C-alpha cells in the first residue's frame, strides 16, 4: 500500500510541476501576441506597397512614385467603378 501512495504522491508532484511550467511559459512570452499581430500587419502593409510599386511601374509602365499619389488611386477606383 505504501508503494501505491508514493506513486500517487510522485505523480501529483510532477503534475503540479508541469502546471507551474505551463504558467511560466504562458505568462512570460519572449515575443508577445500583440507585438506579433503588429509585426504581421506591418509586414502585410509593406508587402502591399511593394506589390503595388512592382505592378504599377514594372507591369504597368508608370512611374513608381505615382503609386503613392492619391490622384492615381482615385483614377484607378473610378476606372473600377465605371467599368
pLDDT tens, the chain, 83 aa long: 555 555 556 666 666 666 666 655 556 778 899 999 999 999 999 999 999 999 999 998 889 999 999 999 999 899 889 87
**How far apart, in whole angstroms, are the C-alpha atoms of residue 32 and residue 64?**
36
Supply the DSSP symbol for 24: H
**How far apart, in whole angstroms, are the C-alpha atoms of residue 73 and residue 67?**
8
Helix, strand or coil for residue 72? helix
Check residue 5 and give its pLDDT.
58
Amino acid at each position: 500500500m505504501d508503494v501505491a501512495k508514493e506513486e500517487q504522491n510522485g505523480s501529483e508532484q510532477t503534475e503540479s510541476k508541469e502546471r507551474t511550467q505551463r504558467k511560466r511559459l504562458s505568462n512570460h512570452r519572449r515575443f508577445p501576441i500583440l507585438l506579433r499581430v503588429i509585426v504581421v500587419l506591418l509586414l502585410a502593409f509593406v508587402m502591399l506597397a511593394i506589390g503595388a510599386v512592382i505592378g504599377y511601374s514594372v507591369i504597368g509602365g508608370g512611374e513608381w512614385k505615382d503609386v503613392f499619389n492619391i490622384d492615381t488611386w482615385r483614377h484607378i477606383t473610378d476606372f473600377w467603378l465605371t467599368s
